[in-house]
Chains A and B, each alone.
Chain A
Amino acid sequence: MPELVSATVPATTAASRGLSACHVCCKLAPAEVHHCPRCGSAMHLRKNDSIQRTLALLVTACLLYIPANLFPIMITDQLGSSEGSTIMGGVILLIHHDALPVALVIFVFSVMVPSGKLMSMFYLVWTVKRHSPVSPRQRTIMYRVTEFVGKWSMVDVFVVAILVALVHLGGLLAIRPGFAALSFAGVVVVTMIAAESFDPRLIWDAMEKNGRKK
């Protein structure tokens, strides 16, 4: 690591110097500029209506999350009888078949990641709204992790896509996608957009305002 001189000076942010940073190309420009001089993207001091937009998307994701868990994600047609399996049902079935590692993979990616992601995003929005003093560094890391794991919940949707394409043997055996595949894919995409709309710099802005009040 090289010496970072500006690190020793207390919190010189781009905003405190009247600069906004382009989220696409990192270019710094005066806050009055609306389009990035380097790449032409729209520029804002902070992401536009970040909190409201993130909240609206999170609520949408929660609504989609209900059918995603209640309806079957795939339906197996075997010798004339058909059987649907939900996300949790699939995990339990795998445990019964002694496929514990795969059960764990599905459980982590399809149950823990999406629900954990929703909860941590709600928590982040809530702390920003309340100007909470809870360790901003930890909350920034929490945001980074949430942002990073987002797309990994698509695993289950890909599993359905592969099985539907692969498993069809005449009238003997076939797998069809269930309604939950659609709503679960929706949950993943909407939460990914929610994470992108959230602006982690607001966590630190709230801190600076708190500091000034005291």
Chain B
Amino acid sequence: MTGDIACHGCDLLVNVASLKDGESASCPRCGSFLTRARSDAFSRVLAYAFAGVILLILANSFSFLSFAASGLESVITLRQTPRAIWDYDMPAVAIMVAAFIIVIPAVILGMLLMLCIPLQQGRYRPWLVTTAKWIFLAQNWAMVEVFIIGVIVSLVKIAAMATIVLGISFWAYAGFTICFTLALANLDRYQCWERIEALESA
């Protein structure tokens, strides 16, 4: 049974014990991606996650966008984006926006560090199982890349009305989007859990 994965697309049992470093496996029956073996995966995740933390802090420290017309100007920070909708009596939408673009990504980032630092050093920690579980449950609900597209679309929509300036926070958030996406892309579900189990039994 060791080295077997049940394909999550069609339930076929596939043995991946013979995967060498750098190789990946897909299901021969339905084509779903199964796993990629990479010895430096956790270092990669950590590098992107650390860069992501710095960029997310920057993104929350400066102005995000500014909008000026007829001598009047309005400047927003990243956090004001959900707050304005809240003020218009749509708390549900405000909570969703805040959760999808800031809260969930930030929590995932923090958990990635808690998970991958011990995994990379090969040390067992009692919180490994819980953090890994929450990362894999929550990752579909982080929408940083969708938000960046939303920002670009909004800018084009109002570009004719006024002068728009992209703040430092915007560029930091764009960089954060790249780092966050790459960090999650390098975290392989199967390999991660195999490593946790190996550390647990050691």
Q: Please list the residues of chain A having a beta carbon within 8 angstroms of any beta carbon in chain B.
A: 1-7, 11-15, 17, 19, 21, 23-28, 38-41, 94, 97, 99, 101-102, 105-106, 109, 136-137, 140-141, 143-144, 151-152, 154-170, 172-173, 176-177, 181-182, 185, 189, 192, 196, 200-201, 203-205
Question: Which residue from A5, A144, A154, A177 sits with its C-beta under 8 Å from B150?
Answer: A154
Which residues from chain A contact B158 at a C-beta distance below 8 Å? 163, 166-167
Residue B151, interface by CB 8 Å: yes
CB of B122 closer than 8 Å to a CB of A: no
Given contacts A4-B25, A12-B12, A166-B74, 10 further A-B contacts (CB under 8 A): A4-B14, A7-B29, A21-B5, A23-B8, A141-B31, A144-B9, A157-B93, A159-B150, A159-B154, A201-B8
A189 to B80 alpha-carbon distance, docked (Å): 22
Find out whether the CB atom of A2 lies under 8 angstroms from the CB atom of B133.
Answer: no
A100 to B164, CA, bound (A): 20
> Assuming the A-B contacts A38-B197, A151-B143, are A204 and B133 also in contact, with contact meaning beta carbons closer than 8 angstroms in the complex?
no
CA distance A112 to B67 in the complex (A): 31
Interface residues of B in 125-152 (CB under 8 A from A): 129, 132-133, 136-137, 140-141, 143, 146-147, 149-151
A155 — which chain B residues lie within 8 A by C-beta? 146, 149-150, 153
Query: CB distance A162 to B81 under 8 Å?
Result: yes
* B146 and A25 contact, CB distance less than 8 A: no
> Which B residues from 176 to 202 make CB contacts under 8 A with A?
189-190, 193, 196-197
B134 to chain A, nearest CB (A): 9
> Could you tell me the distance in whole angstroms from the C-beta of B161 to the nearest C-beta in chain A?
8
* A2–B25 touching, CB < 8 Å: yes
Nearest-CB residue, chain B, relative to A29 = B1
When distances are taken between beta carbons in the complex, the residues of chain B under 8 Å from A12 are 12-13
B90: chain A residues within 8 A (beta carbon):
177, 181-182
Q: Is the CB of B70 within 8 A of A169?
A: yes
State whether B97 touches A7 (Cβ < 8 A). no
A204 touches B11 (CB 8 A): yes
Is B30 in contact with A162, judged by CB distance below 8 angstroms? no
Q: Which one, B18, B19, B92, B160, contacts A97 given CB within 8 A?
A: B160
Checking A38, A97, A140, A169 against B10 with a beta-carbon cut-off of 8 angstroms, the contacting residue is A140
> What number of B residues sit within 8 Å (CB to CB) of A?
73
B residues within 8 A CB of A141?
30-31
Contacts of A11 in B (CB 8 A): 12, 29
Q: How far, in Å, is B57 (CB) from chain A's closest CB?
A: 21
Contacts known (A38-B193, A154-B100, A167-B158); A177 close to B11, Cβ less than 8 A = no
Contact partner of B6 (CB less than 8 A), chosen from A2, A13, A154, is A13
9 contacts between A and B (CB under 8 A): A4-B16, A151-B100, A156-B150, A164-B85, A164-B88, A169-B70, A173-B69, A181-B90, A200-B10
- Bound CA span A140–B10, Å: 8
Nearest-neighbor residue (CB-CB) of A156 within chain B: B150
Determine if B93 and A161 form an interchain contact, defined as CB atoms under 8 angstroms apart.
yes
Distance, CA A6 to CA B28, complexed state (A): 9
Interface centre among B70, B90, B94, B137 (most CB of A within 10 A): B90
Given A4-B25, A6-B15, residue A200 in contact with residue B9 (CB < 8 A): yes
Q: A1-B23, A154-B150 are in contact. Are A26 and B189 (CB under 8 A)?
A: yes
- Which residue on chain B has the smallest CB distance to residue A137? B30
| Contacts A40-B129, A173-B69 given; does A7 touch B14 at CB 8 Å | yes
Report whether A152 and B146 are in contact in the complex, using a CB–CB cutoff of 8 Å: yes
Nearest-Cβ distance from residue A142 to partner chain B, whole angstroms: 11
**Alpha-carbon distance A155/B146, docked complex (angstroms):** 6
Q: Digit string of B92-107 for contact with A (CB within 8 Å is 1, else 0)?
A: 1110110011000000
Chain A residues with CB below 8 A from B101, complex form: 158
A101 to B156, CA, bound (A): 10
List the A residue with the shortest CB-CB distance to B194: A26
